[in-house]
Structure 1
Amino acid sequence: MKLFMKILGIAILIAIAVGFYFRLTDRVLTGDRIIGISVLASAFILMPIFLVIRWRGKKLKDYTLSEENMKKMRNKGID
């Protein structure tokens, strides 16, 4: 999965570079479309995959501000 993410990320960066190359030539509309599709792919495909990989195996309870976690923070400050 990590290899897929790296390949997808590199492909998106290459597509953005190609889009900017097309913008430098006379095909501005095509370049804008390529850049737009690349940005959408990074936001709606790459980002969710990244978040799933990073949150796998972690407990959300450890990162939320609950009453139990507030007590732990108060006790750590006193010690």
Structure 2
Amino acid sequence: MKYFITLIVIASFGLIIYGFSLEENEQHLANKYIGSGTLGLFLIAMPLFLIKESKGKKMKDYMLTDENIRKMQGKSPKKSETQE
């Protein structure tokens, strides 16, 4: 998976660079290459990378909840009113 993502990123950057290197009279074709490279990066490579890296992690640990804010401030968690 790691090598597949790397291959997509390299190919996308290659398309973008090739699109910028095309001559002025092929501007329409250059825009297609640049757009394809950008789509490859942001619609294929980035989601695959995020899925790969976030496997096995709890999303609750990364959310800004009242409990997590209190932990960051070093305060004890607030007791809920229903426990009294």
TM-score, with normalisation over the residues of structure 2?
0.77
The number of residue pairs the alignment matches comes to 75
The list of structure 1 runs, each at least 4 consecutive aligned residues, that deviate by more than 6 angstroms after superposition, is none
Q: Do the aligned residues in 1 keep the contact of 2:8 with 2:40 (CA within 8 Å)?
A: no
Task: Give the superposed CA RMSD.
Answer: 1.6
Instruction: Give the structure 1 partner of residue 20 of structure 2.
Output: 20
Distance 1:75 1:21 in 2: 54
Please state how far the C-alpha of 1:25 moved relative to its aligned partner.
4.5
2:70 corresponds to which residue?
A: 71
Name the stretch that deviates more: 27-36 or 60-69.
Answer: 60-69
Report the CA distance between 1:56 and its aligned residue.
Answer: 1.2
Cα distance in 2 between the residues matched to 1:34 and 1:13: 10
CA distance in 1, matches of 2:14, 2:73: 49
Runs (5+) with no aligned partner, structure 1: none
The 2-side partners of 1:69 and 1:44 are apart by: 31
| TM, length-normalised to structure 1 | 0.81
Q: Is the 8 A contact 2:19 2:32 kept in 1?
A: yes
Instruction: Map Cα deviations across residues 16-52 of structure 1 (whole Å, 9 max, x no partner).
Output: 1111111x34211100111011111211111111111
Q: Which runs of 5+ in 2 are unaligned?
A: 76-84
Match of 2:7 in 1: 7
Identity %: 37
